[in-house]
Amino acid sequence: MKKSSAQFTSIGGQAVIEGVMMRSPHFIAIAVRKTNQQIVIRSKPYASIGQKYPFLKKPILRGVVTLIESMAQGVESLGYSANIASDAENSGEQISALAIAGSIATALVLGIGLFVALPHLITVLITSSERVQLTAKSPLFHLLDGGFKMAILLIYVYVIGLMKDIHRVFQFHGAEHKSIYTFEAGEELTVVNARKYTTLHPRCGTSFLLFLVLISILVFSVVFPIFHLTELSSIPFVNHLLMVVIKIFLMLPVAGFAYEFIRACAFRMKNPIFSALIWPGMILQKLTTREPTDDQLEVALASLKQVLRLEKGTVGSPLIGSNEIEITNLSDLALVEAGVAEFPEL
């Protein structure tokens, strides 16, 4: 595999059920381990909306676009992996697109309630005490709200990590990071080469989530008091409800800032200041990644190898359908010559 001086690649991924999804500039590949231990890889072309509308590649906006596109691709990939991992195609019990959409909609509502509405409610209940005498007009109210939000996030991530199925997803998350590190190091994509790398990566979505929360705390503490967004109604309940709604909408631009922050730090990891700034996100990844098995590394590497083969136009394996191949092990995918310099993170 060609060596490169580039530090990071634009290729990224996501752990799914019993597999990994990888996305390159023009393709997406999802590799999933079936119950019979075969690896199924589904591939399809990919084009970001930013390619059609270049202004969406501008700072801040590109972060919002990346978040929305990643969520959409993640939903589709999870649904596909769930069907393959459970061998639903053979059992005739495939999860329908409507069921997946319903589950995601429910998850979004619960997420908003858990990470936006609940912290605000707790803060209101605590600050309504005569002893505290703290209103939403004070930046301290929003700092306290943010503290509860961070606590809920940490507890939530820790608790779900105790679940057996989620533990395996976290292992595939670690396998995804190790695979990317192997490619960024210019090494051949083999399990032996990938084993030695850490499961923590500075551009991980977990880091993004953490800084999304941290930056939102700072933004809300400034924006709400300065722009008088705490006095929208004379009815207390309605006033706080409107504040929660505004916070939900403000999360999009905040996501853009979080994205830019992580990019800036990731490209300057050799600088001790930026390394220290990104450190909290790396630490949180200890909760969302686990050391993968060799079998899991093989699946992640297969997904990465497939998108590289597609980018280089070297795919020649027989298809199961219009966009799927099935392999027994990683060596079934021919070696592809590709380097980070061909797919740099710009």
Q: Which run of H or E residues covers position 114? A: none
Closest C-alpha among 284, 285, 278, 273 to residue 261:
278
Q: What is the DSSP string of 153-204?
A: HHHHHHHHTTSHHHHHHHHHHHHHHHHHHHHHTT----HHHHHTS-S--TT-
Q: Note the maximum CA span of the chain.
A: 72
Query: Residue 346 falls within a domain, yes or no?
Result: no
* Residue 255 structure tokens: 């996501």
pLDDT per residue as tens digits for the range 272-302: 888 898 999 999 999 999 999 999 999 999 9
For residue 198, give every residue at least 6 positions away whose Cβ sits within 8 Å of its Cβ, in sequence order, or none: 177, 178, 181
CB 75 within 8 A of CB 104: yes
Beta strands, E only, the chain: 12-16, 19-23, 27-33, 39-45, 324-327
Any domain includes 243: yes
For the stretch 138-177, pLDDT in tens is 999 999 999 999 999 999 999 999 999 899 999 999 999 9
Model-wide pTM > 0.75 = yes
Instruction: Identify whether 344 is part of a domain.
Output: no
Q: Specify if 341 maps to a domain.
A: no
Q: How far apart are CA 122 and CA 128, in angstroms?
A: 10
With residue 4 as reference, give the H or E element that holds it: none
Cα gap 37→299, rounded to integer Å = 10
pLDDT tens digits for range 186-216: 999 999 999 999 999 988 999 999 999 999 9
Whether residue 324 lies inside any domain: the answer is yes
Residue 3 counted as domain residue: no
Structural domain total, the chain: 1
Higher pLDDT pick, 9 / 219: 219
Measured between alpha carbons, how far is 339 from 6 in angstroms, rounded to an integer? 9
As a residue count, the chain comes to 346
Give the domain range for residue 301.
Answer: 12-336
Per-residue DSSP letter, 234: S
Residue 345 in domain = no
Name the residue type at position 178. Answer: K
Distances, alpha carbon 188 to alpha carbons 2, 21, 24, 334, in Å: 9, 19, 18, 12
Q: What is the predicted pLDDT for the residue at 329?
A: 92
CA 17 from chain centre, in angstroms, equals: 14
